[in-house]
Amino acid sequence: MAQFDAFEQFRMTGHVAIITGGAQNIGEGIARTFSGAGAKVMIADLNGEKAIATAKKITEETGNEVRGITCNVTVDADIEKCVAETVKAFGSLSTLVNNVGWGRAYDDPLAITADEMVESYKLNTVSAMRMTAACRPHLLKATNASITNSGSMVGVLPAFDFLAYSAAKAAVNHMMVGLAHYFAKQVRINNVMIGTVITPGYAEAGLDAKAVEALKHPNNLTGRAGSPQDIANAFLWLASPAGSWMSGQTLHVSGGGARVRLKPE
Q: Cα–Cα distance between 210 and 256 in angstroms, integer?
A: 23
Site for ligand NAD in 186-245 (CB under 6 A): 194, 196-197, 199, 201
In the list 10, 16, 21, 161, the residue contacting ligand NAD (rule: CB under 6 A) is 21
Residue (23 or 163) nearer to ligand NAD, CB: 23
Helix (H, G, I), strand (E, B) or coil at 223: coil
To ligand NAD, the closest distance from the beta carbon of 264 in angstroms equals 28
Query: Which residues have CB under 8 Å from 155's CB, separation 6+?
Result: 166, 169, 170, 172, 173, 191, 193
**Count of chain residues binding ligand NAD (CB under 6 A):** 26
* Contact of 150 with 194, CB cutoff 8 Å: yes
H helices, E strands: number in the chain: 9, 7
* Contact of 19 with 42, CB cutoff 8 Å: yes
Per DSSP (E only), the strands in the chain are 16-20, 40-45, 66-70, 95-98, 146-152, 188-194, 249-253
Triad 27, 29, 31: Cα angle to 5°: 70
Q: Cα–Cα distance between 73 and 65 in angstroms, integer?
A: 23
Residue (47 or 92) nearer to ligand NAD, CB: 47
Site for ligand NAD in 115-144 (CB under 6 A): 123
To ligand NAD, the closest distance from the beta carbon of 9 in angstroms equals 25
CB neighbourhood size of 156 (10 A): 17
To ligand NAD, the closest distance from the beta carbon of 25 in angstroms equals 3
In the list 19, 41, 79, 100, the residue contacting ligand NAD (rule: CB under 6 A) is 100
* Contact of 255 with 220, CB cutoff 8 Å: yes
To ligand NAD, the closest distance from the beta carbon of 173 in angstroms equals 12
Residue 42 backbone phi and psi in degrees, to 5: -110, 120
Binding span for ligand NAD by CB under 6 A among 42-50, 104-112, 135-143, 206-214: 42-50
Residue (25 or 132) nearer to ligand NAD, CB: 25
Q: Is 38 in the site for ligand NAD (CB under 6 A)?
A: no
In the list 18, 19, 25, 62, the residue contacting ligand NAD (rule: CB under 6 A) is 25
To ligand NAD, the closest distance from the beta carbon of 174 in angstroms equals 16
Ranked by CB distance to ligand NAD, the top (closest) residue is: 101
Interface with ligand NAD by CB under 6 A: which residues? 20-21, 23-27, 45-47, 71-74, 99-102, 123, 150, 152, 194, 196-197, 199, 201
